[in-house]
Structure 1
Amino acid sequence: MPKPLTNAVRRVLQGIWRSRHSWPDRLNAVADGLLSRAPDRVLRGLDRAVLGGGARIPGPAQAPDTDIRLYVAPANFAGQGGQWARAVSRHVPGAGAVSMGFQGAGAFGFRADYPVDKDVYLYSGSWQRRQLRAVSRGFTHVLIEAERPLFGTFLGSVEREVAALARSGVRAAFVCHGTDIRLPSRHARTNPFSPYRDGLLAQTPELERRARENRRVLDRCGLPVFVSTPDLLLDVAQGLWLPVVVDLERWKRSNPALTGPRPVVVHIPSKAIIKGTDLVDPILTALHDDGLIDYRRVEGVPSGDMPELYGSADIVVDQFRIGSYGVAACEALASGRLVVSDVSEQVRAEVEAATGLALPIVQATAAELAEAIRRVVADPGHYRQVAEAGPRFVGEVHDGRYSARILAAHFLSTGA
């Protein structure tokens, strides 16, 4: 068969597989039966047809030898699936955890215990069936990230997966990461700087549709729900905050912030529209041109280079459209840098109510940023103390112990 035709057929097969979530229940049931009973050689043949034979198909995930065996999958966004899994293994007695993450082009190198090629995750029937069996038989709990299916297209939907796991005695819960559940229409109503206003983000209609559908999935499943950042509690009222986790030792720096004559200000727009780079970049550039700061806008930095980058800065300017804080801010706090960002009163109140600690991020909207920076330059001693509170805060809230306690109390314990 000519190669273009082979590729065209492969794309058709992939499209059919991707559309399983929209198939009628009766058709999905027939597909489930055929896939579950098909000989391995048949599934391997389908793999070759759909994947082209080039992808490496790993063996199934191995469960830990513990009483409680947690499987965290399938996204590992910002490395958080892996971090939550390690937190459970380290801090929950009698528990072990394994993280899985699908990986493809453009990944930033976040480590999962069990990485799987994205096309294998989506289209390999042999991997999907073996993985379903391994999780059903080997694990006691699964934490499903971002409402995404654990086994690609194999059962057609995450709801069907939850039902299949429940029949095997495996308990499930969801953890929402951000855009999977944040409702753009709600955010735009309550935040004047929302990236979902005024056509700033072309994907807004699709994000709205997806968030609404994911919310319906959560409601229909009726399982425990966790959220990675406190602002998401506005979208998932029944949710529990599961703080993101960073490795404090990896980010620890020996040089204190704000000791030089001209502070180095770093802004790292991983997603420029979401971060509000269009709002703050002209302001910081003007302050740089006035000689007040040394401004550095940095993009496309691999995860492994970030600790050194933060260590070279005095001030990290984070985000000005979402109203929350996440992994990047926690990493900067752990580095002892002064973080300036627009964090809503709701988020600050949730953090303090849950932990008893004030969030040590200097508050500023984009309109207030220039004046906030000028105050820092005028009183570096005071703001150095604020920066020094960052590692202590991360050590109490974001080093994994707090998150492990939340999972143990509300999901992993036998009485939860």
Structure 2
Amino acid sequence: MTKKLSICMIVKDEEKNLRRCLESLKLLISKDFSELIIVDTGSTDKTMEIAKEYTENVYFHEWNGNFSDMRNISISYATGEWIFIIDADEELNTPNELIDLLESSKINNFKTIRIREKNLLSVKLNKYVYHVQERLFKNDGTFQYKGTIHNQPIYQHPVLTVDNIWLMHYGYINEDKELMEKKFQRTANMLKTELKNDPEHVYYRFQLARSYMMHGDSATAIEEIKKAYKSMKKQDNRLITYRYYVFGEYARMALHTKKFEQVIDVCKEGLSYNDNYLDLYYYMGHAYIELEEYKEGLDTLTKYVELHGQYYKNKLDLSNFTAIEMYTLDKVTLEKTLDRIISLVYKEINIIYDLNQYKPLLNEVENIALKAKLLTKVFILEKSENELLNLYKNIDESQRYPFINYLEMLKKDFDEGQSEHFKHIFSSIEDDYGLLNEIRNTEKRNKLLLQFINNYDIVRFTDEVIIEFVTYLMESKYLNKFFKKLDSVTIKKIVKVLIDKEEKEEYFLGSLRNDYKFNDFQSNRIYIAIANVLLLTTIEDSKKSKRELDKDVHDLYELYVNRGINYIRYLYHVDHLRLIYITLGNNEDRFFILMYLANEANDKGNIRTSIRYYKEALEVYPFMAEFLNNKINQINVGLSKDIIITDINQISSELANKELRVLHGSIEIANQMNSLTKGLQNIGINARSLNYYPSYLNYSNNYRVNISKIKNADEISNLTTEIGLKAIEKFDIFHFHFGTTLISDHSDLRILKDSGKRVYMQHWGSDVMQNSIAEKISKYVVVKNTDEDSIKRKLDFLSKYIKHCIVGVGLYEYVKDFYENVHISRAAIDIDSYAPSISTTKKSKPLIVHAPTSPEHKGTKYILKAIENLKIKYDFDFILVQNMSHEEAKNIYRKADLIVDQILIGAYGLFAVEAMALGKPVITWISEFMKDKYPKELPIISANPENIEKKIEAVLKDKDMREELGFEGRNYVEEYHDMNKIAEVLQNIYINNQ
């Protein structure tokens, strides 16, 4: 033998990993006593080229499906005294330590060397799994590998386990979905083949269970680990000592699947064979706590923490743990356990537990925010306000406000004496928090309030603190002085908090009447900020309670607009308003300018120009839709008849020579009439849409008449009759939506039938959904209309005159017993107006969006509860999209990283389609009844009230999954929801079903 060390590797298609591995060996390779041997088993990438840069000893042997054979071939080339085995997806972190060992005399007393390895499971979570492996072997001619997969070395004793030589393994990173899927398919198939020949092979069964677990199939994983456990128990009791890795995996999988009693039983049995197996203490401790056996849980987790410390101080002998991957040795897991221990003691007042043993460990916690939180709880439990003060003084500036807000939350648990002492000692600090506590600590606070107003910003504190501080200002009559120091956005936030949590509407209404009488810039600015919040809050409340806005609210709106117009006159040159308003980023300013221009045009008699400006204001600031639509309709009602009739007359010649003349009417549902008519036009069919119920969403239609604003029933009947009769003359095909027709009393249906016109009715959801059927489709569904008899009567009536019904697949069950012919068609979308916006840049935190157009029926309360719980553990943004135009809402959807739709209905709707078209991952409830009715490639994540939190969490943690679902969603919509393709479906229905 001419070399001290032979480094032996087998590789295949490893160009992504190999260079990193070989660079980590460079120091070893440079030593003249080392040789590098690489056996390639069939690479098709640049693996061989990279290998030859580092060694001449590169050989090719065709892969035969047996890892041990390939290992043994690589060993056959070794000439060194010692053999070192390493894989391409590993790197040696400690080359100097390995050299020192090889050059030492103590190595001569051993034939096998065990070293330590860290397996990186998650880059995002900084999650590692640890284990010990035999990697250096005396090259005495007896050493070899056996086993087709998960090959195991047949080595000689004595064995030395070293603590200071480490490998890093990158082969099982959870975020690399492609890699994980590839390894699962390869490994699982090979293991299944081996197990057919030897079903009782404990190690192979154990590895198969781990493969399923890493693949996310926990149900199959736990069944396989049970089989491994049973096979192990059939063996001689002495052999179990060498198989107790099964206990660790069994306990881990049982904990993951919430089988807590099973966890405890398995852990106790495993610890009877080796009481140093710290993973088992970890699993058992958490299982006890889940079962609310807190004393046992705390004692067990304390033992885990103790063993964890011994491991890192090299006082824990784990040298026999060669087949075990230690899942709980990383610092993140330790810190989470400390968090649970201390939070449990803090929360459960009946638990008396000495936390002094944890203080030294808390000082070593690497997560700064967590460390501060845990020490805070300990000091509060100990009533050590002085230590709490020192902790505050030493907190990192970037963590100061999160810490203050956390402290304010915990302060609610103080008794009166503790609270007074806290205020006293914290008032000694010379910063905003110190001054706040000084204000709290005295009755004579006017001077201190002025000092705070002039120097600090209260908005960085919690809502509760803001309320407390503003209450002091109200008492001292300093609130207006305070508002002058703040920007308008901050004023709005404070007013909103006080209205929502303290019901201060009357206070602020009185303030508007009494405190801002002057028409100066500051008075107007503050007035419109307060009025804006009052108006939006009132509008939101009225929608929830389904009540009309009273005269006082309309009066406030008029004052708000007038003050707003005065405000923009201070800011901008009025002669330039037409030129500059479109460039402004502040939509409220743009709204006021448009209102100024609309009023000006109206005063000059330019009615159409005035309407155009009002409509543009509606687009820019849809929050005021209630008032703007009312204003537009006041102007427009008198013109409505002429506009629609004139328009129909204008297109009569245009339609005269077309084979298909189609009118869609007379309500816009989620932009479907607009999309369908555009799609039909794109394939050469002359189609138009008529909408009697335009809304704040501001969808585009060819003809719009807002009959909901006409209070007189006779006037509505006369208007719709005139429009309907004119339309019947000009169109051949009538495609109605949501149970509406041309004339308000549906008398047009008999005329259409007698005229031989082709009529189709398309239903969209609540117009046909009956609870008795809905609950069979989804056990969670809440129907909007609970009066089934009225729905059935309506369907009976419509189906007498209309023979053809069109529905999405999810509504078939509701209409099949009424209409003679039921046709299936999907929702349509203009994919060109939904350019995918999949983010490729790194955002500081993800954005989750939910649009509760109907909160009760979408399950919004469950979604909000899940978001609230997840906010405790994760840093992300959440937007509830309400009271916006369709375009404004789409702008928010484009920024989203995850969109959550409904979780009750059991079928996906238009919002989910829009989200997928934008390349966004979607969570919505797809019931078992509906799953087989959709294309198999539907990329929606199904969630219901029982699992919505877990489903959001899984997507939140996995950026790669979000991107994959986004791409798949866009492809799905292009295939199944393109309005042009849906138009072709409709064309076929129109032509073949007359």
Query: What TM-score bracket applies, with the shorter chain setting the length?
Result: 0.7 to 0.9
Quick check: 310-319 or 292-301, which moved more?
Answer: 292-301
Q: Which residue in the other structure is 2:861 paired with?
A: 278
Quick check: 73-82 or 126-135, which moved more?
Answer: 126-135
* 2:750 corresponds to which of 145, 154, 163: 163
Residue pair 1:320, 1:366 contacting (<8 A) in 2 also: yes
Q: Which residue in the other structure is 1:183 paired with?
A: 770
Q: Which residue in the other structure is 2:698 paired with?
A: 109
Q: Secondary structure at the match of 1:350?
A: coil
Distance 1:53 1:299 in 2: 27
Matched, 1:413 2:991: yes
* 2:918 corresponds to which of 332, 335, 341: 335
| AA matched with 2:991 | S
Residue pair 2:829, 2:979 contacting (<8 A) in 1 also: yes
Distance 2:762 2:941 in 1: 28
Q: Secondary structure at the match of 2:682?
A: helix
| AA matched with 2:753 | A
Q: Which residue in the other structure is 1:97 paired with?
A: 687
Residue pair 1:144, 1:174 contacting (<8 A) in 2 also: yes
Matched, 1:78 2:670: yes
Matched, 1:344 2:927: yes
Residue pair 1:285, 1:295 contacting (<8 A) in 2 also: no
Residue pair 2:753, 2:801 contacting (<8 A) in 1 also: no
Q: Which residue in the other structure is 2:281 paired with?
A: none
Q: Which residue in the other structure is 2:99 paired with?
A: none
Q: Secondary structure at the match of 1:332?
A: helix
Q: Which has the larger share of helix?
A: 2
Residue pair 1:250, 1:307 contacting (<8 A) in 2 also: no
Q: Which residue in the other structure is 1:369 paired with?
A: 948
Identity %: 19
Distance 2:901 2:735 in 1: 29
Shift of 1:260: 3.8
Residue pair 1:82, 1:100 contacting (<8 A) in 2 also: no
Q: Which residue in the other structure is 1:403 paired with?
A: 982
Distance 1:161 1:180 in 2: 20
Distance 2:827 2:790 in 1: 23
Shift of 1:415: 6.1
Q: Where in structure 2 are the equivalents of 1:5-404 lying within 5 Å?
A: 54-56=637-639, 57=641, 58-60=643-645, 61=648, 62-63=651-652, 64-65=654-655, 66-91=658-683, 93=684, 95-103=685-693, 106-119=695-708, 123-153=715-745, 157=746, 160-196=747-783, 203-205=785-787, 208-227=788-807, 229-237=808-816, 238-256=821-839, 260=843, 262-352=845-935, 358-404=937-983
Distance 1:193 1:414 in 2: 38
Per the alignment, do residues 164 and 293 of structure 1 end up closer, same or farther by CA in structure 2, a change over 3 Å counting? Answer: same
Instruction: Give CA deviations for 1:371-408 in whole Å, capped at 9, x if unaligned.
Output: 22232234321331111111211112212123212211
Shift of 1:262: 3.3
| AA matched with 2:824 | W
Per the alignment, do residues 191 and 346 of structure 1 end up closer, same or farther by CA in structure 2, a change over 3 Å counting? Answer: closer
Instruction: Give CA deviations for 1:34-62 in whole Å, capped at 9, x if unaligned.
Output: xxxxxxxxxxxxxxxxx999543233234
Quick check: 326-335 or 164-173, which moved more?
Answer: 164-173
Shift of 1:162: 2.4
Distance 1:375 1:125 in 2: 54
Q: Secondary structure at the match of 1:289?
A: helix
Shift of 1:142: 0.3
Shift of 1:319: 0.4
Q: Secondary structure at the match of 2:916?
A: helix
Residue pair 1:248, 1:391 contacting (<8 A) in 2 also: no
Per the alignment, do residues 231 and 54 of structure 1 end up closer, same or farther by CA in structure 2, a change over 3 Å counting? Answer: closer
Instruction: Give CA deviations for 1:8-38 in whole Å, capped at 9, x if unaligned.
Output: xxxxxxxxxxxxxxxxxxxxxxxxxxxxxxx
Q: Secondary structure at the match of 2:932?
A: helix
| AA matched with 2:659 | D
Residue pair 2:920, 2:962 contacting (<8 A) in 1 also: no
Residue pair 1:81, 1:99 contacting (<8 A) in 2 also: yes
Shift of 1:297: 2.3
Coordinate RMSD, CA, aligned = 2.6
| AA matched with 1:315 | L
Distance 1:404 1:137 in 2: 24
Gaps of 5+ in 2: 1-633
Q: Which has the higher contact order (CA 8 A, sep 6+)?
A: 1
Query: Which is greater in Rg?
Result: 2
Quick check: 177-186 or 285-294, which moved more?
Answer: 285-294
Per the alignment, do residues 279 and 96 of structure 1 end up closer, same or farther by CA in structure 2, a change over 3 Å counting? Answer: same
Instruction: Give CA deviations for 1:172-231 in whole Å, capped at 9, x if unaligned.
Output: 1110011111112321344221214xxxx6x523xx23321232124323511001x321
| AA matched with 2:795 | R
Report the count of equivalent residues.
Answer: 345
Residue pair 2:834, 2:914 contacting (<8 A) in 1 also: yes
Q: Secondary structure at the match of 2:933?
A: helix
State the TM-score, normalizing by the size of structure 2.
0.33
| AA matched with 1:322 | I
Distance 2:706 2:956 in 1: 47
Residue pair 2:921, 2:965 contacting (<8 A) in 1 also: yes
Distance 1:377 1:351 in 2: 26
Distance 2:766 2:759 in 1: 21
Shift of 1:129: 3.8
Q: Secondary structure at the match of 1:319?
A: coil
Residue pair 1:179, 1:211 contacting (<8 A) in 2 also: no
Q: Secondary structure at the match of 1:244?
A: coil
Distance 1:168 1:186 in 2: 36
Shift of 1:135: 2.2
Quick check: 58-67 or 239-248, which moved more?
Answer: 58-67
Instruction: Give CA deviations for 1:59-106 in whole Å, capped at 9, x if unaligned.
Output: 323455222000110111222112111111112x4x2101000135x5
Q: Secondary structure at the match of 1:409?
A: helix
| AA matched with 1:170 | K
Residue pair 2:760, 2:802 contacting (<8 A) in 1 also: no
